[in-house]
């Protein structure tokens, strides 16, 4: 038995009854950050684009999100092979693209302009696309990158909202693409050279909706030395001189930068040291996530000062293509929700989850394939449901802007909470109205159900299962909502943290082959008690979204619009007058 197994077994045996009380007082006098409809996006490795556009699955899933939020998820075409991409007039193979020597071990990706045209109309209408140019090869004055830029814009038009110049440029020394003098100063000089060529070109001058540039694109976490591939000074704070100079010293550069990007993978299979630290219970842990994400708060502040938002331009659970048993579980779905909302609360405007058609962390895979002596089918994985849940959190009403704040009273390893406010204008001053609450039980419950999914591998993160009854908590929250207001409840559920199937949002599952909904949603409805108090249940390893419409009250009677529950199965709960969370965890013997 491993040390981890011993520790978990001892914990289960020792903890018969655990009680945790915390006061949660939700008010409107909090500082919020923007919560936009397309907060959750995808980054697609260039060599795998052909697979994703070969079936309607990806388009269907992205369209489902757009139906909820009103805006399709943003797409970034980029990754390691972006800096190995070369554009040619024609290819000897007679097609539009070829990975050499092959897809799973590509060192070179040759394309023609026709490759861009092949996927230009695939994504749902209104999808914002970012394309990563090859910055690695800097001979011939970046002629290849300049040609890529013109060709991709000719195919995509105003769907192309930004270019990136290179992928994870803070690894260029380690990869042998730059010498040890490579730094933010050298990058800034080369950024200005290449962007200057693009913006002065004839096609750019006549383009409608001229694409901007996503700057930075750094891989290494600023405060985690053992995850840094080389010694350098790359960070958004250094690049922008804390938002007051550097790459934005010149007004013309500030004007063309649409956002700044960093990357993050909290776990990794890339080397032995990090392999030994991979654990599902560490991924699905709010405190561990905070330690990872909070290091980007200064980077977000620097980006804001520099005039453009910070985005997490590429991310996922485990780098080097993921780890089945961790990346493809319900725990990863809960982690994804917490991650995206936490990032938004500190100023990370968007988060792009990386996709590879044969990667273990991908939320959905378009084609069947063979991997590690197993046959994997096309389909949807558990982590996709996290995106669908986030879409419901980020969906705003007409002409409504949302803001988000983390709840200090729901902040522990096993509990996470967020408040979402609707912004309106009145008397020249911004007014914030509490519109939604999100609570995530991040505690681990490893069950024996839902462990299989033919769209992923059969691996598990250990063979130790939770014993006894699955814990459940009663949460009691004080809000500014009027007594009697109806609150709709949407739950993100699964058989256990380790489950790979059986996951649902409001009881809805999706067809694994087509992405279509298999049923209508069932939504609970709570009623706010006196003094604005709510009471509801939360199971170990579960997410809940509480939402109201307008909460204007007339004579103490709420005028909340609950029309969103029309046509759905509805169950009514009643709120009680309590202002604490009482978490009573009962474990079997």
Residues 290-310 have a mean pLDDT of: 96
Q: Are 354 and 116 in contact (CB under 8 A)?
A: no
Residues 566-573 have a mean pLDDT of: 36
Q: Is the pLDDT of residue 240 over 60?
A: yes
More confident site: 430 or 99? 99
Choice among 106-110, 387-391, 533-537 with the minimum mean pLDDT: 533-537
H or E segment and range at residue 365: strand 364-365
Distances (CA, A) of 554 to 435, 560, 571: 18, 11, 26
Which pLDDT score, from 0 to 100, does residue 563 have?
36
Confidence label for 228 from pLDDT (cuts 50, 70 and 90): low
CA 23 to CA 533: how far, in whole Å? 12
Q: How many CA atoms lie within 13 A of 215 on its CB side?
A: 35
Confidence label for 12 from pLDDT (cuts 50, 70 and 90): very low
- Strands 348-355 and 310-315, how do they pair? parallel
Structure tokens at 452: 């299989």
Listed residue (228, 226, 225) closest to 273, CA to CA: 226
Which pLDDT score, from 0 to 100, does residue 273 have?
79
SS3 at position 333: helix
Which pLDDT score, from 0 to 100, does residue 283 have?
93
Residues 224-230 have a mean pLDDT of: 55
Confidence label for 90 from pLDDT (cuts 50, 70 and 90): very high
Q: Is the pLDDT of residue 574 over 50?
A: no
Under 8 Å CB-to-CB from 59, ≥6 apart: which residues? 122, 123, 124
Residues 138-158 have a mean pLDDT of: 95
Q: Is the pLDDT of residue 180 over 80?
A: yes
Q: Is the pLDDT of residue 584 over 60?
A: no
Q: Are 99 and 105 in contact (CB under 8 A)?
A: no
Which pLDDT score, from 0 to 100, does residue 424 have?
57
Task: Give me the chain's average pLDDT, please.
Answer: 87
* E strands, 81-152, in order: 85-87, 97-100, 108-111, 129-133
Q: Is the pLDDT of residue 186 over 60?
A: yes
Which pLDDT score, from 0 to 100, does residue 183 have?
94
Under 8 Å CB-to-CB from 584, ≥6 apart: which residues? 17, 18, 19, 473, 474
Place of tokens 């092949």: 118
pLDDT > 90 fraction of the chain, expressed in percent and rounded: 74
Helix, strand, coil shares of the chain as percentages rounded to 5?
A: 30, 30, 40
Residues 398-424 have a mean pLDDT of: 91
Phi, psi of 29 (to 5 degrees): -90, 55
Residue 54 CA from chain centroid, whole number: 24
CA 545 to CA 484: how far, in whole Å? 18
Choice among 24-38, 49-63, 306-320 with the minimum mean pLDDT: 24-38
Length, in residues, of the chain = 589
Which pLDDT score, from 0 to 100, does residue 138 have?
86
Q: Is the pLDDT of residue 1 over 50?
A: no
Place of tokens 């891989």: 219
Q: Is the pLDDT of residue 380 over 60?
A: yes
Which pLDDT score, from 0 to 100, does residue 519 have?
87
Choice among 139-148, 164-173, 427-436 with the minimum mean pLDDT: 427-436
Structure tokens at 110: 């040759």
Which pLDDT score, from 0 to 100, does residue 225 have?
56
More confident site: 3 or 240? 240
CA 358 to CA 51: how far, in whole Å? 10
Place of tokens 């999914």: 453
Which pLDDT score, from 0 to 100, does residue 140 have?
86
Q: Is the pLDDT of residue 508 over 60?
A: yes
pTM of model > 0.75: yes
Q: Are 217 and 264 in contact (CB under 8 A)?
A: no
Query: What are the contacts of 263-266 at 24+ separation with CB within 8 A?
Result: 263/168, 263/217, 263/218, 263/219, 263/312, 263/313, 263/314, 263/315, 264/221, 264/292, 264/293, 264/296, 264/312, 264/315, 265/315, 265/316, 265/317, 265/318, 265/319, 266/292, 266/317, 266/318
Structure tokens at 293: 């994400």
Distances (CA, A) of 484 to 158, 481, 563: 47, 9, 16
Place of tokens 């911004």: 430
Q: Are 191 and 165 in contact (CB under 8 A)?
A: yes
Which pLDDT score, from 0 to 100, does residue 19 have?
32
Q: Is the pLDDT of residue 11 over 70?
A: no
H or E segment and range at residue 364: strand 364-365
Place of tokens 């440029």: 169
DSSP, residue by residue, 292-328:
HHGGGHHHHHHHHHTTS-EEEEEE-SEETT--TTTTT
DSSP, residue by residue, 253-264:
HHHHEEEEEEEE
Confidence label for 581 from pLDDT (cuts 50, 70 and 90): very low
Q: Is the pLDDT of residue 348 over 80?
A: yes
Q: Is the pLDDT of residue 429 over 80?
A: no
Place of tokens 């985005």: 311
Q: Is the pLDDT of residue 305 over 50?
A: yes
Phi, psi of 508 (to 5 degrees): -95, 130
Confidence label for 515 from pLDDT (cuts 50, 70 and 90): confident
More confident site: 461 or 279? 279
């Amino acid at each position: 038995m491993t040390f981890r197994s011993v520790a978990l077994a001892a914990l289960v045996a020792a903890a018969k009854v655990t009680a945790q009380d915390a006061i949660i007082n939700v008010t409107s006098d909090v500082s919020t950050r923007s919560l936009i409809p397309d907060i959750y996006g995808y980054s697609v490795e260039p060599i795998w684009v052909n697979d994703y556009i070969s079936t309607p699955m990806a388009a269907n899933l992205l369209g489902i999100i757009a139906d909820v939020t009103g805006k399709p998820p943003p797409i970034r075409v980029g990754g390691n092979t972006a800096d190995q991409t070369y554009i040619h007039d024609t290819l000897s193979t007679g097609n539009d693209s070829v990975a050499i020597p092959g897809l799973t071990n590509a060192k070179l990706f040759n394309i023609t302009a026709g490759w861009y045209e092949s996927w230009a109309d695939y994504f749902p209408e209104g999808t914002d696309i970012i394309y990563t140019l090859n910055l690695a090869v800097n001979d011939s004055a970046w002629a290849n990158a300049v040609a890529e830029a013109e060709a991709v814009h000719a195919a995509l038009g105003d769907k192309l909202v930004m270019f990136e110049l290179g992928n994870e440029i803070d690894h260029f020394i380690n990869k042998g693409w730059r010498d040890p003098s490579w730094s933010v100063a050298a990058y800034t000089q080369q950024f200005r050279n290449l962007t200057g060529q693009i913006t002065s070109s004839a096609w750019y001058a006549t383009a409608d909706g001229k694409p901007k540039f996503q700057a930075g694109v750094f891989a290494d976490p600023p405060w985690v030395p053992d995850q840094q591939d080389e010694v350098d000074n790359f960070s958004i704070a250094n690049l922008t001189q804390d938002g007051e100079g550097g790459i934005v010293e010149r007004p013309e550069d500030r004007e063309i930068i649409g956002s700044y990007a960093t990357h993050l993978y909290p776990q990794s299979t890339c080397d032995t040291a990090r392999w030994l630290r991979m654990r599902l219970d560490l991924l699905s842990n709010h405190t561990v996530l905070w330690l990872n994400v909070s290091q980007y708060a200064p980077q977000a502040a620097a980006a804001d000062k520099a005039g453009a938002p910070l985005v997490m331009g590429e991310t996922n659970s485990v780098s080097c293509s993921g780890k089945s048993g961790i990346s493809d579980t319900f725990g990863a779905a809960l982690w994804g929700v917490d991650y995206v909302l936490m990032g938004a609360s500190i100023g990370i405007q968007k988060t792009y989850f990386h996709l590879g058609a044969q990667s273990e962390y991908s939320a959905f895979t378009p084609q069947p394939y063979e991997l590690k002596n197993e046959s994997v089918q096309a389909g949807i994985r558990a982590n996709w449901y996290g995106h669908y849940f986030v879409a419901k959190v980020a969906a705003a009403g007409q002409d409504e802007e949302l803001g988000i704040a983390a709840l200090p009273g729901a902040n522990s390893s096993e509990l996470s909470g967020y408040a979402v406010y609707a912004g309106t204008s009145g008397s020249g001053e911004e007014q914030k109205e509490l519109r939604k609450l999100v609570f995530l039980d991040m505690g681990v419950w490893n069950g024996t159900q839902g462990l299989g999914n033919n769209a992923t591998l059969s691996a598990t993160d250990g063979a130790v299962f939770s014993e006894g009854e699955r814990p459940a908590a009663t949460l009691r929250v004080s809000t500014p909502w009027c007594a009697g207001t109806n609150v709709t409840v949407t739950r993100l559920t699964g058989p256990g943290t380790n489950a790979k199937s059986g996951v649902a949002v409001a009881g809805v599952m999706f067809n694994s082959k087509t992405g279509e909904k298999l049923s209508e949603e069932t939504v609970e409805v709570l009623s706010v008690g006196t003094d604005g108090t709510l009471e509801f249940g939360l199971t170990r390893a579960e997410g809940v979204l509480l939402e109201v419409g307008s909460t204007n009250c007339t004579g103490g009677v709420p005028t909340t619009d609950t029309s969103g529950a029309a046509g759905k199965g509805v169950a009514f709960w009643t709120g009680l007058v309590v202002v604490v969370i009482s978490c009573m965890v009962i474990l079997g013997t």
